[in-house]
Chain A
Amino acid sequence: MAKVIDDPRPTAKERLNKTVESVQGSQAWNSIFRPGSIFRKGYTDSPRNRSYVIMNSVLYHLHPVKVKRHAVKVSYTLCLGGLSFFLFILLTVTGIFLMFFYRPEATAAWNDISSLQTSVAFGLLIRNMHRWGAHLMVLSVFLHMARVFYHGAYKPPREFNWVIGVVLLTLTLLLSFTGYLLPWDQLAMWAVAVGTNMMGYTPVFGSQVRFVLLGGVEIGSETLLRWYVLHVLMLPFVIVIFMAIHFWRVRKDGGISGPL
Chain B
Amino acid sequence: MTEIPEHLLKRAQAARDKAAASSGDTAPAGGDAPASDPRIPAHLLERSKSARSKTDDGGAVAVADKVSAVVAAAPASGGVPVGAGPGGHTQRLLTVVKSGSIQDVKATPVDKVHTWPHLLAVEFVAALACTAFLFFFSIFVNAPLLQLANPNQTPNPSKAPWYFLGLQELLTMFHPMVAGVTIPGIALFALILAPYIDKNPSNKPEDRKFATSIMTVHLMFWAVLVMIGSFFRGPGFNFVFPWRDGLFFEL
Q: Which residues of A contact B (CB under 8 A)?
A: 47, 50-51, 53-54, 60, 63-69, 71-72, 74, 79, 82-83, 86-87, 90, 106, 110, 113-114, 117, 124-125, 127-133, 135-136, 138, 142, 145-146, 149-156, 158-159, 162-163, 166, 170, 173, 176-177, 180, 183-191, 193-195, 197-199, 201-203, 218-220, 257-258, 260
Please indicate the chain A residues that have their CB under 8 angstroms from the CB of B250 in the complex: 187
Contact indicator B142/A194 (Cβ below 8 Å): no
- Residue among A51, A72, A106 with most chain B CB within 10 A: A72
- CB of B151 within 8 A of CB of A155, answer no
Specify which of A63, A184, A260 is in contact with B119 (CB 8 Å cutoff). Answer: A63
Give 20 CB contacts A-B under 8 Å: A53-B120, A63-B120, A68-B112, A82-B126, A86-B126, A87-B130, A132-B134, A135-B162, A154-B198, A159-B195, A162-B192, A184-B148, A186-B147, A186-B149, A187-B250, A194-B159, A199-B181, A202-B181, A257-B203, A260-B205
* Chain B residues, Cβ within 8 Å of A258: 203
Once the chains are docked, how many angstroms separate the CA of A183 from the CA of B148? 9
CB distance from B211 to the nearest CB of A (A): 7
Complex CA gap A124/B131 in Å reads 16
Which stretch, B52-60, B93-101, B164-172, B238-246, touches the partner chain A? B164-172
Q: Does B25 contact A (CB under 8 A)?
A: no
Report Cα–Cα, A86/B192, bound state, in Å.
24
The reply on B69 being an interface residue by CB < 8 A is: no
Q: Could you say which residues of chain A place their CB within 8 Å of the CB of B119?
A: 63, 67, 71-72
Inter-chain contacts of A194 with B (CB < 8 A): 158-160, 164, 168
User: What are the residues of chain B within 8 A of A131 when measuring CB–CB?
Assistant: 143, 251
Asked whether B1 is an interface residue with its Cβ less than 8 Å from the other chain, the reply is: no
B9 part of interface (Cβ distance < 8 Å): no
Q: Across the A-B interface, give the 8 residue pairs with the lowest CB-CB distance, nearest first.
A: A198-B180, A152-B203, A128-B138, A159-B195, A190-B158, A131-B143, A189-B149, A66-B112
CB distance from B181 to the nearest CB of A (A): 5
Q: Which B residues are in CB contact (< 8 Å) with A185?
A: 144-149
Most buried by B among A151, A152, A195: A152
> How far does the Cβ of A101 sit from chain B's closest Cβ, in whole Å?
14
With A and B bound together, what is the CA distance between A149 and B191 in angstroms?
10
Q: How far is the CB of B69 from chain A (nearest CB, A)?
A: 30
Q: Are A66 and B114 in contact (CB under 8 A)?
A: yes
Chain A: minimal CB distance from B191 (Å): 5
Q: How far is the CB of A204 from chain B (nearest CB, A)?
A: 11
Does B111 make an interface contact (CB < 8 A)?
A: yes
Contacts of B176 on A, CB cut-off 8 Å?
Answer: 197-198, 201
Contact of B112 with A67 in the complex, beta carbons under 8 Å:
yes
Q: A66-B115, A83-B127, A163-B192 are in contact. Are A187 and B134 (CB under 8 A)?
A: no
Give the residue of A129, A156, A189 whose beta carbon is less than 8 angstroms from that of B151.
A189
* Residues of A contacting B110 in the complex (Cβ-Cβ under 8 angstroms): 68
Report the nearest B residue to A130, measured CB to CB: B143
B130 touches A155 (CB 8 A): no
Closest to B204 in A: A260
B10 at the interface (CB under 8 A from A): no
Shortest CB distance B168–A (Å): 6
| Interface flag for B2 (CB, 8 Å) | no
CB neighbours of A186 from chain B (8 A): 146-150, 153, 155
User: Do A183 and B203 contact each other (CB < 8 Å), given the known contacts A50-B114, A132-B134, A177-B164?
Assistant: no
Interface membership of chain B positions 102-116, coded 1 if the CB is closer than 8 angstroms to chain A and 0 otherwise? 000000001111111
Contact (Cβ within 8 A) A50 B137: no
Q: Does the CB pair A72–B113 fall under 8 Å?
A: yes
A195 is contacted by which of B134, B145, B164 (Cβ under 8 Å)?
B164
Name the residue on B nearest A177 (C-beta).
Answer: B161
A223 to chain B, nearest CB (A): 10
Q: Bound complex: CA of A136 vs CA of B132, how far in Å?
A: 13
B139 is an interface residue with CB less than 8 A from chain A = yes
Say whether B8 faces chain A, with CB atoms less than 8 Å apart: no
Instruction: Chain B residues near A145: list those with CB within 8 A.
Output: 191
Contacts of B120 in A (CB 8 A): 53, 60, 63
| Interface residue B123 (Cβ < 8 Å from any Cβ of A) | yes
Q: A35: shortest Cβ distance to chain B, in Å?
A: 14
Are A117 and B145 touching (Cβ within 8 A)?
yes
The answer to whether A54 touches B115, judged by C-beta atoms less than 8 angstroms apart, is yes
Contact status A136-B158, CB under 8 Å: no
B195 and A155 contact, CB distance less than 8 A: yes
